[in-house]
Structure formats: structure tokens, C-alpha cells
Chain A
């Protein structure tokens, strides 16, 4: 039907006008600045990551009603991973790279009705008014494969219809046929890792989402063995992905309103609804398989198998941003999401030599079916030409779903100092967990030596205890201190846009 579309208004006249080519080249190298958040203590103070990205974005606009976007990135990893001589025969391990299609979609504007736009294809959608912490924004999963690039999202195929019946009201309807989960940082493995001493003896295992007395019962079982006779294999975490039936589709609707408040200012707010799944995994079952070593009495091999799931949820959302007419009043924004979750009952089983140990079969409600709230409220203010501040209160981090870990509270400040005609910017940002007092601090200096060029020298510094504050509680781990939070690093990035 697209051939029916008739260009209007300012018409593109040639291919140069129809095509817009942009993108960037970015190089990023990181160095770990501690040695206790890796696989074993003492491993650190070394180059952690080296990434070199080339991004191409092509926009084709044959007329004012139609747009096609293709955005692709090639990433080369600069760290050699060849371990065998045979791997030196090619580039696969020495100079690894991957290709990512960020976006590829078709958009039609004002068709079939003047008040309607639609998009179809691989998209990244953005809802909400807060900075980054958008509990009402659940259409795309998050891409935390690079924890420093915390704004990234996982693109997904979707159909989006936007309706603009008036200039003060708009309605978005989105359907996402297939569920796609969030990408996790490589350090996630440490959340399940068993800690051993240098000589391989068992030290501790992360607490499962069980009651304290249940965790104690597990501890008692392992206490029967000498720590050096417990041989834990690497825990295996299986992801139980949702099926491809239509009930696993996601759908969302968002109605946005703009309201003038006269001399006071302007208010924009939205009401939204989302049906789908939480994109971060939630612990579902765990099985400890114990096998007595037939050759050595008292020696036990332990396999630990974990299943995680993506629970269903419905989200009723409200977001707003208020812009005061007075220059002395800060901008205020916020989001509130009431989440109606699928109940998740965690089950744990212990098999000894293949036999179920009934006394150690346990269960606990990991996610209650009662609705809970995730929210963000913030304000920002430009004090002078060189000082800008933004502070947010966040209830519920990206990966929190009111499971046995609970919903935590955070303060996220961001202060920008601008120097030398804005060629330099010092940005002090942090996220502080006010419940366990751990924090991530990420200061950076951004230098724009020439238009289109940005150099960034920064750090990501996790503060908190790597060991659980309460080893017998699933909620006992330190949010930013635990090993799963990843290593503290300093980084240098260079980026050129075109």
C-alpha cells in the first residue's frame, strides 16, 4: 500500500536529499583498578577491555511520509583470546569481532490517517520522563553486556502506532511479538559462584532465595564434609525462555497529555500500560546433585544447577515532567510504575547419588503476586553557565523485581562542571544504595578538542563489600560491592561522529 503515499510539502529532489549517512568510530580501553572482584583474589590491575566500534546509520527518506532506518555496528575486541596454536591460524580468536544490527525499521508518517504514524521493524522505543531509570519503560530489554554503557537497550521487532488527534494529546500503541531478554554483564556468573580457597577448598556459596532456617539446613548438610572434600563444579545456570506463542507477546499503550498551567509553567504527563515479562532473570529452581566419589570415602562431587525464568507482569505507569515558567524553579520529573507480577515460588532440591533427599526439598515464595511499586523522582537545575545538577531518587534498580532481594532505594546524583568554553566537562555521577550503603561512582572528564570529536577519561568505581553482609540471606549481598557488580575500572574513550 505504500505506493499510494503521496509526497507533500517540502519534497526531496534528489538522492542526496533522500539519504542521510551518519555514524561514529569509537575506541575504548579499560584497566581494572582492583584485584578482588575477579574470579579469584589477586587477579586484577590489568587491561580489562579493549573495544573498537564502527557504527553506520543510514536514513532513507523518499518523501516526507516515509522513512527507513538501518543502524548497524561492528565491534572489534582488541584482546587476544587465542589459547591454542591452532587458534593462531585465523582471526577468530586473535581479533574477535561481532556485528550488531541496532535498528532496521520502516516508518510511515500521517498514513492512513493524517493523525497516525506507524513504525514496523527492529526498534528501540523509549518511554518515560526520568533519566535512565524508567520503570514505565519496559518495551525493550536493557543491554548491560557493557555495564559502562548503561543507557543501551536490546532492539526488538515491534509494531508501533502513534496517534496525534490533538496537539495536547497523543496515544502510542506498541506490540512486540517475541520476547527478548536483557543482556547481562559477564560478571553475572559471580552471583552464583561458589567461593573456594586457593587450594580449592570450599569456603562459601551464595544463599538461595530461601528462609533463613532453610539456608541453615543446607549449611548443616555441607558442614558434614570437610571443606576440602567438597568438590563444586562450576554452577550451571539455565535460562527458561518463554515460548513463541502469542500469549508471550508484549503489548503496551501510552497516552500522553500536555497541559499548560498558565504563569506557573507547563506539565506533561502520561498514563501507560504494559503487558509482558520482566526482562531480567529471576531464580526459579535450584538442584544440588551430590555424588560420592566411589574411590575416596568422604569426598563429594557437587553439581549445582539453577533455573531462572522471566516472570510475567503487567505494569500500570504514570510519568510526568514539570517545566516552571520561573527560571529559579528547577525542572521536576518523575515516574511511577505499579507492577502486577507473576508469583514465583522458588524450589530447591538435593539429590544424593541420584536420590532425592526429601528433608532438603525446600520452597519459598521468591516473588509474591502482590503488586509493588518502582518509581523515580528527580529534579535538575542549571545554576550557572558552568554548573548543572541533576538528582534522582530511584526506588527499584533495573534488575529488581521484588523477589527475595526486595526493592531497594537509591540516590543518583549527577553534577556537571563545564570549563574552557565547554571544551572540557567534569561530570561527577554516582548511584548510591541507601539500604546497604554500597555505591557506584563514575566520574569522567569529557574533552571536545574539535567538533565531532569527544575524548573521555573516566572511572567506574564500585564501593561495597564483596562478601554478603548477611551470608544467610538472599538479600544480604551488597548491591554494588558484590563481585557480580563487576570490576572497578578506569577507561579512556575516543569518539568521532559523522
Chain B
């Protein structure tokens, strides 16, 4: 009987799978990635070859390639107490010569949290939770194209930017409520075998959190310096996120982010072969000495 059961199991597995979605639809994949403004296609950008350097030759417009640092400050209160959350997003941006829009590519997001002293006497050291973006999402180099309302080459116009992590096919991606676990609109964007995108938590717990996120930036008009080597500006942001799985149930808790008002963005002109890897490796020197500081 044993062999009959085993064989049956194999056949059932095969039939079940065979009845499922047995079509790999490349065009749909492209629509998902580009049509919704997100992409998991990589931007090769010269594969990181060549010397890493910023551009120092003055330019005539904002067209070209930029390294972008977006500093977002908010608070969270997972324990009832207010913790300070600092998110530093690192991106590449391309602005075409016709000034029709900007093409952002996500490189990484750094998180820094400060917590008040805890313990009965409030004298113990801050806990400083730590996490970082999973490698899969960094490798995916999510991109989005943001058209300007009218062409602009002298300054970065005010724009709204939508980032979706682990989400697609949203009817109104700006406003729809985030779906729950199991919803077909959730997808494995970082390709690591888990739905959504993976955030690696390293402190105080250790494990992976699988989550979906909608990030909205409202970038105020960006002001370039006279040589068009820098663009600086402020922004407001909104983050909606939800955990849809975790390697440890304790990691399922996701606290809402309350934005503060001291958020800024900084853009530094870089050569055409500048890559995300260059940016991650040299971010401090790339954004050193911005105008006005």
C-alpha cells in the first residue's frame, strides 16, 4: 500500500500544480513593473566599473544623472513611548534632456531609531532597534518614472512620487487600503521566495519581516545651485505599511509612522556610469559639502 500512497501523492501534487497558473506572462510582468510605476528590473549602469566620482563640471540644466538622498523624520510608538525614526533613502535619478520628468531608481534605505531610556528607573541605555532592507530588494532596484506637469530644465518642479513595495495591480495605488496577507495584489518583489519585500531585523530581535509598503513623497520645488551640480529641497511624506509574515511572530508588529516636518532631499550630479553600488559605497563623500552648509 505504501507505494500506492506515495505514487498518489506525487500525482496529486502534479495535478494540483498543473491546474494552477501555468503561464509566465512576460508582457504582464512588464506592465506590472512599468505600468504601475515600479520595476524589479535592474539598472545595469555600467556594472559599477570605472572610478567613483561626482561631477564637478558646471552644467546648463538639471538634465542628467543624480545621486539622491532623501531624509525623512518621523516618530513611532510601538511601546506607547515615542521613538524617533530617521529614514535615509538613497536613489539614483535621471532627468532627460527634454526635462519631461525624472526617473528614480531605489538603491537602499537606512533606518535609525532613537528610543528614550527604559527600565523602571529610566536609566538603562536606549534600545536602538535596528533593521535593514533585504538584499533582494536592493538587487531589484525598483524604479519609477515621474513625469513633470510641464517640461522643466531650470529647477526640479514640485512632484509627488509613489513607491510601492510588494504591491501591484492596485486600482488606486495612491489611496486604496493596503491588502491583507494572501491578496493577489501582493507579490514577491524582491524574489526571495517570500511575499512582499523582506526587511531584516537585527535588534532587539533577529529575523525577517515580510511586508508591503506604500511610500508617498510630496517633493517641494528643488532649487539647483548656479552650476547645476546640486539640487536641494524639502518634502512631506506618508508611509503606510503592513507586515504580512515574519520568521518570528514577534516581528509582525509594525508601528504606524507619524511624519515630522523637517524632511529634506539632496541631489548631487554624478557621471552617467555612476551606479547604486557606487552610491552605497561612497555616499558620505558624494553628499559632502552641500551648498548652504
Contact = CB atoms under 8 A, between A and B. Distances in A.
* Binding partners A and B: yes
Nearest to A234: B47
Interface in B2-44: 2-3, 6-7, 9-11, 13-14, 16-18, 20, 22-30, 34, 41-44
B44 A234 contact: yes
A248 B17 CA distance: 9
B174 to A, nearest CB: 20
Given A287-B30, A354-B101, A251 B10 contact: yes
Given A236-B44, A244-B193, A275-B10, A354 B27 contact: no
A413 B56 CA distance: 64
A342 B97 contact: no
B3 A173 contact: yes
Contact of B96 (A241, A354, A366): A354
Contacts of A253: 6-7, 10-11
Contacts of A242: 193
Contacts of B44: 233-236, 303-305
A188 interface: no
Interface stretch (A123-131, A213-221, A290-298, A444-452): A290-298
A363 B26 contact: yes
Interface string A92-126: 00000000000000000000010010000000000
Given A233-B46, A251-B14, A252-B10, A349 B3 contact: no
B22 A312 contact: yes
A373 to B, nearest CB: 18
A123 B99 CA distance: 57
Interface string A331-360: 000000000101111111101011110000
Contact of B30 (A173, A241, A361): A361
Contact of A351 (B27, B34, B98): B34
What band does the interface of chain A fall in when counting residues whose beta carbon is under 8 Å from B? 35 or more
Nearest to B20: A247
Interface residues of B, number: 49
B272 to A, nearest CB: 6
B179 to A, nearest CB: 18
Interface in A203-253: 233-236, 238, 240-245, 247-249, 251-253
A171 B7 contact: yes
A369 B29 contact: no
Given A285-B26, A355-B100, A293 B272 contact: yes
A273 interface: yes
A285 to B, nearest CB: 4
Given A113-B2, A351-B34, A312 B17 contact: yes
Given A116-B2, A173-B3, A353-B94, A303 B43 contact: yes
A23 to B, nearest CB: 35
Contacts of B6: 161, 171, 173, 253
A353 B98 contact: yes
A284 B46 CA distance: 22
Nearest to A235: B44
Nearest to B31: A347
Interface in B191-208: 191-194
Contacts of B17: 247, 275, 312, 314
A342 B96 contact: no
Contacts of A309: 24
Contact of B23 (A247, A294, A343): A343
A378 interface: no
Given A273-B14, A275-B14, A303 B27 contact: no
Nearest to A352: B96
Nearest to A316: B14
Nearest to B136: A241
Given A171-B7, A287-B41, A347 B27 contact: yes
B9 to A, nearest CB: 8
Of the listed residues B30, B43, B145, B191, the one surrounded by the most CB atoms of chain A closer than 10 A to its CB is B30
A349 B193 contact: no
A240 B191 contact: yes
A311 B3 CA distance: 29
B153 to A, nearest CB: 10
Given A236-B47, A344-B24, A171 B3 contact: yes
Of the listed residues B24, B97, B192, B193, the one surrounded by the most CB atoms of chain A closer than 10 A to its CB is B24
Nearest to A241: B191
Given A289-B43, A291-B272, A307-B29, A353 B14 contact: no
B63 interface: yes
A343 B272 contact: no
B14 to A, nearest CB: 4
B210 to A, nearest CB: 12
Nearest to B7: A253
A439 B58 CA distance: 57
Contact of A349 (B13, B34, B272): B34
B221 to A, nearest CB: 20
Contacts of B42: 236, 238, 305
B188 interface: yes
B217 interface: no
B110 interface: no
A291 B192 CA distance: 30
A184 interface: no
Nearest to B34: A356
A469 interface: no
Contacts of B11: 253, 273
A349 B22 CA distance: 23
B45 interface: yes
Of the listed residues A163, A234, A353, A366, the one surrounded by the most CB atoms of chain B closer than 10 A to its CB is A353
B23 A292 contact: no
Contact of A251 (B13, B24, B29, B103): B13
Nearest to B59: A294
Given A233-B46, A354-B96, A305 B41 contact: yes
Contacts of B22: 312, 342-343, 369
A273 B97 contact: no
B91 to A, nearest CB: 14
Nearest to B43: A303
Contacts of B64: 294
A363 B10 contact: no
B272 A301 contact: yes
13 contacts: A173-B7, A233-B47, A241-B193, A245-B193, A251-B14, A275-B14, A285-B30, A344-B24, A345-B23, A345-B25, A351-B34, A354-B145, A361-B30
Interface of A: 113, 116, 161, 163, 165, 171, 173, 233-236, 238, 240-245, 247-249, 251-253, 273, 275, 284-285, 287, 289, 291-294, 301, 303-305, 307, 309, 311-312, 314, 340, 342-349, 351, 353-356, 361, 363, 366, 369
Interface of B: 2-3, 6-7, 9-11, 13-14, 16-18, 20, 22-30, 34, 41-47, 59, 61, 63-64, 94, 96-98, 100-103, 145, 188, 191-194, 272
Given A236-B47, A355-B145, 13 more contacts: A116-B2, A233-B46, A247-B17, A251-B10, A253-B11, A275-B18, A307-B26, A344-B26, A346-B26, A347-B30, A353-B97, A354-B102, A361-B27
Nearest first, the 3 closest Cβ-Cβ pairs linking A and B are A353-B96, A347-B26, A354-B103
